[in-house]
Amino acid sequence: MILKMKKRLLSLLQLILVVIYIVFEELIWEGVAKPIYEMVHSLKILQGIEAKLQTVNSYVILVLFILLLGAVEFLGIYAGMMFISGHIFVGLSIYLTKIPIAAFTFWLFRVTEDKLMQFGWFKWIYKKMLSGIDWLKSLQIYKDTMKRLKSLKESIRAWRKEYFKKESPTLKKMKKHYRKIKDSLDK
């Protein structure tokens, strides 16, 4: 009985971790942060800074990275506290503020990764984090959830393609109703 309960509790914990990871990876990173990161990475001014960062002392890079990462994590925790306390718009605003800072921090990490990996403890933490992500992705519950998510995305695309094609009947009806409402408001 206790073993069965332990197994269910462990499965629930794994499910929670998988859902949290998928939300951050699929929705926040892929949908919002990655485009911002790519935009930041493509800025001409930052390409010059990339070259200069290679000449900066490793300790300075480490302190800068830790300060930025700390700020990003603090903003995330604070945004979560605002959400929980019922201040949804404040929490959302703080979280949206965090995303460009996180993208810049990720850019800084990628540009100075060699310098940061010179610190043994930093490299050890980074490898442990990657191992944790690999472990999470190896779970059957993660694989099943990703299959379902992929299927859901395909269903949404098919539905959108069917009902929102250029001259779909649904879209024509929506436009007709919109014109009627607009005309009545213009009078």
Amino acid 15: pLDDT? 65
Chain-centre distance for alpha carbon 155: 22
Structure tokens given for 35: 């485009």
Tell whether pTM > 0.85: no
Number of domains in the chain: 1
> Is 150 a domain residue?
no
**Closest to 99 in 3D by CA, of 75, 129, 131:** 75
- The DSSP annotation for 76-108 comes to HHHHHHHHHTT-HHHHHHHHHHHHHHHHHHHHH
Amino acid 32: pLDDT? 62
> Is 154 a domain residue?
no
> Is 30 a domain residue?
yes
Amino acid 115: pLDDT? 92
Within 13 Å and on the Cβ side, how many CA atoms surround 32?
A: 13
Task: Tell me the C-alpha distance between 181 and 184, whole Å.
Answer: 5
Q: Which domain holds residue 43?
A: 2-138
> Is 23 a domain residue?
yes
Predicted confidence pLDDT, tens digits, the chain (187 residues): 777 777 777 776 766 766 665 656 665 666 666 676 677 667 777 778 888 888 999 999 999 999 999 998 898 889 888 888 888 889 889 988 888 888 888 888 888 989 999 999 999 998 998 888 888 888 888 788 888 878 877 887 887 777 666 666 766 777 777 788 777 776 6
> Is 101 a domain residue?
yes
> Is 98 a domain residue?
yes
> Is 175 a domain residue?
no
> Is 90 a domain residue?
yes
Amino acid 66: pLDDT? 93
Contacting residues for 106 by C-beta, under 8 A, at least 6 apart: 33, 37
Residue 111 to residues 16, 52, 116: CA-CA distances in angstroms? 32, 11, 10
